[in-house]
Chain A
């Protein structure tokens, strides 16, 4: 087991190198720091001195890959590639355009993100599985048909409308909770209720449909027929047999997203003014703060790879037949 984990962790290194090369290529080769500076400072009336200064402040004035003017190991280390890209591997994110330390910001903003993402994740998992079980119980009846049509309709509504509609009805018309904002500690709850509800409702359509497909696939297998032939009640068949066996496909889809909960939800956080990592990312994209975007890309890939690893490990927990080697 431990050997497996170590090997998988080593597999992650080439992938992370690939991710970093890609972002390096996008941000420093496709567009030189010179282009970025001109873009940031405005197209016209920009002096070479201003560009130099902008580059120097951010450390973009170094050579890309090889520093021919330096000596010794500095040939490789005193470059943009080393400073801006390789440093990410030790989670040294450097500083943002406004001079703040990105690593510090990320640690601080993780908490509100998780406070929103974890309840949404857990509750919607429960809600979706429950509804899908009910639909599967009534399969091939009108309940099933209506359930599918309803979930397709829910799926067809853009996330933006769930948020705008929810804010409008619950906060503006009914004045039940504040429209947006955030607070420390338990006071945050009243700000989090609405985004959590919207996150759950917005996911019901797609989630229910996905779980229904999984359950229906299991229901037609031989062991289910055997269980029914033994005279077990449909309820017992569903909960004791189908649900357990459906765990593998469910875990495949669900576990990989758990680490990504750290990244927060881009849209929800920015609409509700929650100072998490999602709104951090959006602000960085809008403000064209490339340092933050690079850091978030790296962080996202690391979390995704952890998710893949967790998925494999979770198989061993639910299915004793799976051996990792």
Chain B
């Protein structure tokens, strides 16, 4: 795509979104974390478009992307990021006129102009897409794909008498007349349809993609296909397409089985576990990425300053990070979060909706996690800068009278960026895992916010039940495990490509 067309498309999309927002009966809500996510996205896009033009910067990325394991992880990560981004567009729906009238009647107030009424419930694009799953709230626990509740309850028969039985679910398998005989067949049929659907969609996408690749490489289609199947391509397309197949199949299963049934069961208050797992993705990603985004400027600036200026600047910065480092991480987080809690509890008027309050708390959590984790990077950068400033080219720059700021920005910063990059990708998975532990301790995300930590925390006690309520735990486990594993494998590849030391060791 030429530069001009790209810009036109971009502006077009923006205009379309603006018109859509203006026409749609919604009020956009920009949460703090949303804003930071958009900034992060913008930074990433501009970073990669900058890198594209620089051969020496492209080559390590080529190396990363040519590794099948790294590409598989990247595809999986992209799927997660897509869900996370969909969940980061927030708005409030306009209330239907009669609902407005009802609310006004309850409040005994004269209705104001009808356009100004919006629901207090903040929704995201993901919520709208997952509407069928989100709305299907049962009474309590139900097993995956079940048609009945998990525990017995008093059921009223048609003749008015009551019996203790497992009541039918309101939504899960509600389309079946007789679940006992039809359920297995129905599920099998749906699963097979899903597989067929998924594979068809996948085939379509992949064939188009291969055709595009063939045209760009100026190969015949069959030749491109055989190159990919035998694995003789620069980018590991075979691995990419196989992973895509998995993603497509999973999506198809979710669409076919998630709507008629509860694919992963329901939790204590009857929410669909699959929906909760999807909602948790954003929380995990926000903690994994924003934490570093917030603290990165401080770590880079202070680390380089300490190494470059030495003397009292170095002493002060070292003192600050040794002090912060000496407090056990969990306790520092706990101390800070407890303070934030007290503050939020005493200023309830600051937040319009529950989700905004939870969001501010999440942002604070990211900041505090950042404070506990930046010290390592800061120390690494200080050490590297100390080494760099003794090198001839920087000595020469100093001798020529180049200013400190220019030396830092032109000579030191580009040469420590690989350390920053490695630190950022390595930190990500640790932070996602930390969220679960912190939520268990009670200093994690807000209890009203859906996260894997909160899911585990509420499901933990159910392990004592007989038979066991395992699905919430297993769902949280898998969603988290896949994300963290993909992130770990990807960060390994990044480290191997960018760390000169690792290159020597292997």
Give me the interface of A with B, judged by CB distance under 8 Å. Answer: 14-15, 18-19, 22-23, 26-27, 30-31, 35-36, 38-39, 43, 140, 152-153, 155-161, 164, 167-168, 172, 213, 216-217, 219-220, 260, 263, 266-267, 281-282, 285-286, 288, 290, 293-294, 296-297, 300-301, 304-305
Contacts and interface: CB of A to CB of B under 8 A. Distances in A.
A145 B348 CA distance: 54
A168 B463 contact: yes
A15 B146 CA distance: 58
A14 B484 CA distance: 39
A15 B315 CA distance: 12
A164 B461 CA distance: 10
Contact of B326 (A35, A43, A216, A305): A305
Contact of A304 (B326, B460, B492): B326
A35 B442 CA distance: 20
Nearest to B348: A43
Contact of A43 (B336, B345, B440): B345
Contact of B339 (A30, A172, A266, A267): A30
A156 B429 contact: yes
Interface string B483-498: 0110011001000000
B460 A14 contact: no
Contacts of A285: 334, 338, 441-443
A301 B489 CA distance: 34
Contacts, number: 138
Contacts of B485: 152-153, 156
B437 interface: yes
B463 A300 contact: no
B48 interface: no
Given A267-B437, A304-B328, A155 B342 contact: no
Contact of B437 (A157, A158, A164, A263): A158
Given A19-B323, A164-B463, A267-B440, A27 B328 contact: no
B5 interface: no
Given A23-B335, A39-B346, A285-B441, A220 B505 contact: yes
B89 interface: no
Nearest to B345: A39
A210 to B, nearest CB: 12
What 7 A-B pairs are tightest by C-beta distance, nearest first?
A18-B323, A300-B328, A156-B485, A301-B326, A156-B484, A304-B326, A31-B342
A217 B331 contact: no
A218 B335 CA distance: 41
Contacts of B328: 260, 263, 296-297, 300-301, 304
B463 A167 contact: yes
B211 interface: no
Contacts of B502: 213
A35 B463 contact: no
A152 B485 CA distance: 7
A168 B331 CA distance: 29
B323 A266 contact: no
Given A293-B331, A301-B327, 17 more contacts: A23-B335, A27-B335, A39-B346, A43-B348, A155-B488, A157-B484, A160-B456, A164-B463, A219-B505, A266-B330, A267-B437, A267-B441, A285-B442, A286-B441, A297-B327, A300-B327, A305-B326
